[in-house]
Amino acid sequence: MNEISKAMAIAAAGMRAQSSRMRIISENVANAASSSTEPGGDPYRRKIPVFQSEMDKATGARLVRMTKAIDDKADFQLEYQPGHPAANAEGYIKLSNVNTMIEMMDMREAARSFEANLSVIENSRAMMQRTLELLKR
């Protein structure tokens, strides 16, 4: 496999990883305002994507992929709502540990990384096209 194709394979793997990351972030944002439905129960817990590098035998390149999403062990937020069905004996409910500002920053970073990988693929494709044009002459 030539180096241009190898670069495209690496960038495509990066795009898949960032797409998976954006899906996890979207899930976190969608559940940011959740609370428990029963007293003492836990609300949605923020997920963190885990990435791993692996050797691709076909290309001989090291590719990245998202292997799983783990739970963020940060504490839940407590809010005083004594009339809520999930309120504990003191009147507090647990709210999700998702911080939407952090999620938005993570989403922006993932989108920029996705775009950078897309740019690599576009530039590699243009280089291959130009090479083919030169060979035709």
Residues 72, 69, 120, 105: is their CA dihedral positive or negative? negative
pTM of the model: 0.86
Q: What is the pLDDT of residues 58-73, one digit of tens each?
A: 888 899 999 999 999 9
Average pLDDT over residues 10-19: 96
Q: Where are the domains of the chain?
A: 3-136
- Rounded-to-10 torsion of CA 74, 17, 109, 107: -60
Q: What is the pLDDT of residues 79-92, one digit of tens each?
A: 999 989 898 889 99
Q: What is the residue type of 113?
A: S
The average confidence (pLDDT) of the chain is 93
Q: What is the pLDDT of residues 16-53, one digit of tens each?
A: 999 999 999 999 999 999 988 888 789 999 999 999 99
